Amino acid sequence: MDKNRILARAKDYIQKESDPKFKAEVEALLAESNIKELEDRFYQDLEFGTGGLRGIIGGGYNRMNSLVVRRATQGLCNYINETVKNKSLAACIAYDSRHYSDIFAMDAALIFAANGIKAYLFTSLRPTPELSFAIRLLKADTGIVVTASHNPPNYNGYKAYWSDGAQIIEPHDTGVIDKVNSVTAIKSMSREEALSKGLLVMIDKEVDEAYISMVKAKLFRPELIKAMAKDVKVVYTPLHGTGAMHFERVMKELGLNVSTVPEQRKPDGNFPTVSYPNPEEAAALKMALDLGAKLKADVVMATDPDADRLGIAVPDGKGGFALISGNQLGALHADYMLLSLKELGRMPKRPAIIRSIVTSELQDRIAEHYGASHYECLTGFKWIADVMRNFEKDGTDFVYATEESYGYLVEEEVRDKDGISAAAMTAEMTLYWRSKGKSLLERLDELFSLHGYHEERGLSKYFEGPRGMDTMRGIMNSYREKQPGSFGGIAVASVKDYKTGEAWDSHNDGKKAKLDFPRSDVLQWRLKDGTQVTVRPSGTEPKIKYYVLANTGLEKGSLAAAKEKSKNKVDAILADIRKSLA
């Protein structure tokens, strides 16, 4: 975009932005003639993608600010009003601890109100899964949560939901995007007017109580928890986010002894004790692990800022703690929940679990072991929710869903990942295996011995700035133009291209099969030994992500040998990928 166009867009933004801070930022950049920074803020509009918005907080059309949030909400209102007829309309709004989250949430609520849509707004910050729960509980037509999940402190975001409590997908996603992109006028009203007309309703305890009751009702053995709780120590960190209020209450009511990291308990959008508030990152858990070691905890848990993700660590038997990956905890959950249903005589007629296409296939083996079906879907819990929607139509019984990025769902009442209910289930699972004389690590090794050693590792590379998306598109295009013949010295056996919806064997006569998945910019290779390699641009961050899923059989029953063989194999595959990105 040329300089004059950038300057014109900056001046247009200043005229329309109501927040003085964001307006002043752009005015200062214009006064300084800082074209490089202005280009980054105005070369494009912050994209309202299929899940909503996410970006750096600041003034500009390519930033998260009041004008961008208000415009997005107006577009959502326009779509809802045109699509949902013959009923009174309502929306639920929640927000997390990030900077401007409360302001953006109120901005959105008042726009819903001005468009005749009753806005149920939480009085203070709440976890994302409770927003999904509230939509279903209050029978709302839509909802939003203001959060950037586990992104760095300078980010914020906005996720849009439909009436079933799931993030919007086709056809609503493209319909909303079209309306957002065509907004010419934004309606709003004052807080006082919205309250007086009953178009703004503040909510808290009535949803909290129902949500907490639901979380506890999903557990299998509350009597076991009561019997053993006094002997178990849980260390927890909400990483300055929303999780503490519900996590601590649930655990207390179950009788468990929880010690929350004091320096990280208070919500704080600066996330002062971590550089990256993501429970997937070992560094983010350092303070919790230090406290766990001091208190000799039985399990350390962490939720991300909006409490939809959960990370855990357990004693390694050597005086330290072992981090349990998202794939591993997902496998342990699936195993424990299916085992419990079987032991308690509660196995439904058509049990099924769901995972994303980049999540461990160990879960498929576990499901088969218990006679359950397993389904896969594209990455993102909105696609898991879509499979759940289909279950409701065909009578399949939902048991559990997960994706490798520390997202888990143990209930049907929420249609997004839920770190709070997953934590409660993890606590019960830990006690159950302790009652059998086993740790979670020992049970995990039993699963590996039964189903083969499954190792999953990933690699990500960031591409910031105006040309970042072009670089990622170039990488994906280069793979499609010249398919790799091998990774780590292992030949490619077959390919799936989710963008074209086609799959084929590497050495056939050109015949291609159709994939029964929505279109997505994802490439997946199956190697000769069964290893799976996947690449996709992230939908929420400027990075490209690779996933390697390897299953190594146990030769002569040696798990240690399988782990070493798998490590070497995955190391070689990742080295090949890094070389291609250099």
Return the number of other C-beta atoms located less than 10 Å from residue 192's C-beta.
9
pLDDT digits over 114-165, tens only? Answer: 999 999 999 999 999 999 999 999 999 999 999 999 889 999 999 999 999 9
Name the residue type at position 394.
D
Burial class (CB in 10 A: 0-12, 13-18, 19+), 567: middle
pLDDT at site 539: 65
Contacts for 171 with CB less than 8 Å, ≥ 6 apart: none
How far apart (Å, rounded) are the C-alpha atoms in residues 538 and 545? 6
Burial class (CB in 10 A: 0-12, 13-18, 19+), 418: buried
pLDDT at site 344: 98
Contacts for 110 with CB less than 8 Å, ≥ 6 apart: 119, 188, 189, 190, 191, 194, 200
pLDDT digits over 235-266, tens only? Answer: 999 999 999 999 999 999 999 989 999 999 99
pTM: 0.94
Site of tokens 């299916």: 338
Catalytic residues: 149
Is the omega angle on the peptide bond into residue 171 within 30 degrees of 0, that is, cis?
yes
How far apart (Å, rounded) are the C-alpha atoms in residues 237 and 340? 28
DSSP 270: T
How far apart (Å, rounded) are the C-alpha atoms in residues 410 and 198? 35
Q: Could you give the domains of the chain?
A: 1-43 (no CATH), 49-203 (3.40.120.10), 211-302 (3.40.120.10), 327-451 (3.40.120.10), 453-581 (3.30.310)
* Average of per-residue pLDDT across 470-477: 88
Phi/psi for 463 (5° steps) reads -135, 90
Return the number of other C-beta atoms located less than 10 Å from residue 197's C-beta.
13
Contact 540, 149 (CB under 8 A): yes
Question: Which percentage of the chain shows pLDDT scores above 90?
Answer: 88
pLDDT digits over 1-26, tens only? Answer: 789 999 999 999 999 999 999 999 99
Contact 144, 121 (CB under 8 A): no
Top-confidence residue, 582 or 370:
370
Tokens at 42, concatenated: 């105005």
Strands 407-409 and 397-403: antiparallel
DSSP 487: E
pLDDT digits over 281-321, tens only? Answer: 999 999 999 999 999 999 999 999 999 999 999 999 898 99
